[in-house]
Structure 1
Amino acid sequence: MQTERPLRLVIAEDAVLLREGMVQLLQRFGHEVLAAVGDGDALLAAVREHRPELVVADVRMPPNFTDEGLRAVRTLQMEQPGLAVLVLSQYVEQTFAEELMDQGGQRAGMGYLLKERVGDVGEFMDAVARVARGITVVDPDVVSQLLARRRGPLERLTPREREVLALMAEGHSNTAIARRLVVTEAAVAKHIAGILLKLDLPADNPEVNRRVVAVLTYLRGEDA
């Protein structure tokens, strides 16, 4: 598997084995890891020094293991609006995912994955590549919880439309959705048009990232 081009990255993860494993994996695929650090303060310093294209960061890091990584990412997104960020978490932390989408979803690539996805090399590297391209990528387990929280208009959707909506929210393109569901791209486009119509979301915005953010915003129960 090859990504489109080598990336310049900074990694922030306090678990040494996971951090070093990600470094080796990313380097194996031709990417340049500019720094690999273990806490939020070091993440801020490394990104400010090296100006990477993408950051891979844990949500919870020393000293308190609460939201140090998330707070560092928020600061960096304000300082560098074009910075792509892929955040990792041990558990599904829905609020953190929503806050990240609010902070960066419309300005640069944004991803939120469970750490267990790193063990699937293809899935992890695909997420890295898509986030670097400016796409919003959300872990399927988080998407499932967002869908479960939201009723009302979602009940208007057919089972197939709900499948398409979940894949949209995960950041997949129409082509990828068609491949996953073994249907034509024209069929996917028709399903998406129906979804946006039923959810009262605009159907005329061609930007994939904005489309995903609009769907996630609606699922959170806010005005799209």
Structure 2
Amino acid sequence: MRILICEDSVLLREGIARLLTDAGHDVVAQLPDATALEAAIAAHDPELAVLDVRMPPTRTNEGILAAIGIRSRGERPRVLVLSQYVEERYAADLIASGTAGFGYLLKDRVADVRDFLAAVEQVAAGGTVLDPEVVSQLLARRRRDTRMERLTPRERQVLALMAEGSSNQTIADRLYVSAGSVEKHISAVFQKLELEPEDGNRRVLAVLAHLDAPTSTDQTSAPDATGGIR
């Protein structure tokens, strides 16, 4: 299997590469950060990318954002995230994009080489591998996160249409309201979901929050011809 590793710790990076090589895999690239990740994927066409979460230059979310970008473009390469901690928000974002061909393991809890290699094979084959601690904390997060409950039915309609990829004008046409009204609803959604301008693409983050929320009639109902809820 062709595997790319993106990990800033040289010792861990070399150790993972050695394990994978000894197991018969082809490590096609080893990167210390995500700056050359896209180019390496294009050049080597790996089947699996093993990514750290926190890497230079900010050591915050470079790896996770790279993983989200990879998964948004298709099935290959599959993604196995290795993290020191459970990054609840970003783990939820990744899972919201689909769990096929995805893994999230905590470095300190990978205690057996055979288990790690099995996880590599499972993710590459399109399976899902999640550390039990990741699952536990995400379930706790879901119980804590009541932000979606703050939205009005109309704001949920707008957000549902955003999740379909609709533009502001398309949403306005679907709901029989002005584009200005849609912009006000979207601003209210951002505010109630606590998405600040510095959060990057707030539209994407809002859609992810919608996809991660428990299904409800209000959130999923489509507008009828009068702009009401069916």
**TM tier relative to shorter chain:** 0.5 to 0.7
CA distance in 2, matches of 1:86, 1:35: 15
Q: 1:21–1:119: structure 2 CA closer, same or farther, 3 Å change rule?
A: farther
- Given that 2:48 and 2:79 are in contact with CA atoms closer than 8 Å, whether structure 1 keeps it comes out as yes
Shift of 1:73: 1.8
Kept after mapping to 2: 8 A contact 1:41/1:72: no
Deviation at 1:118, TM superposition (A): 4.1
Shift of 1:115: 1.1
- Percent of paired sites with the same residue: 53
Q: Is residue 128 of structure 1 aligned with residue 120 of structure 2?
A: yes
Task: Say whether the 8 Å CA contact 1:81–1:104 is kept in structure 2.
Answer: no
1:149 offset after TM fit, Å?
A: 4.7
2:34 aligned with 1:13, yes or no? no
In structure 2, relative to structure 1, the CA distance for the partners of 1:61 and 1:74 (3 Å cut) is: same
Q: Please, what TM-score do these two structures have when normalized by structure 2?
A: 0.60
In the alignment, structure 1 segments of 5+ residues that lack a partner are 1-6, 152-216
Distance, in Å, in 1 between the alignment partners of 2:140 and 2:94 is 20
Q: Please identify the structure whose Cα radius of gyration is greater.
A: 2
Contact 1:91 1:114 in 2 (8 A): yes
Q: 2:85 aligns with which of 79, 87, 91?
A: 91
Q: Is the 8 A contact 1:9 1:32 kept in 2?
A: yes
**1:117–1:32 Cα change, 3 Å:** farther
Q: Which residue of 1 aligns with 2:51?
A: 57
Q: Deviations over 1:105-133 (max 9, x none)?
A: 2xx40001111244421221111111011
CA distance in 1, matches of 2:103, 2:38: 18
Of residues 21-30 and 131-140 in structure 1, the stretch that sits farther from structure 2 once superposed is 131-140
The verdict on how the C-alpha distance between 1:79 and 1:17 changes in structure 2, with shifts beyond 3 A counting, is same
Conserved? CA contact 2:52–2:83, under 8 Å: yes
Quick one: distance in 2 between partners of 1:223 and 1:126? 33
Q: Which amino acid aligns with 1:88?
A: L
In structure 2, the CA distance between the partners of 1:148 and 1:103, relative to structure 1 (3 Å rule), is closer
C-alpha deviation, 1:49, in angstroms: 1.0
Aligned residues: 151
**SS of residue paired to 1:40:** coil
Compute the displacement of 1:61 (Å): 0.6
1:79 aligns with 2:73: yes
Gaps of 5+ in 2: 144-208, 217-230
What corresponds to 1:175 in structure 2? none
Contact conserved, 2:88 with 2:141, CA < 8 A, in 1?
A: no
Say whether the 8 Å CA contact 2:102–2:129 is kept in structure 1.
yes
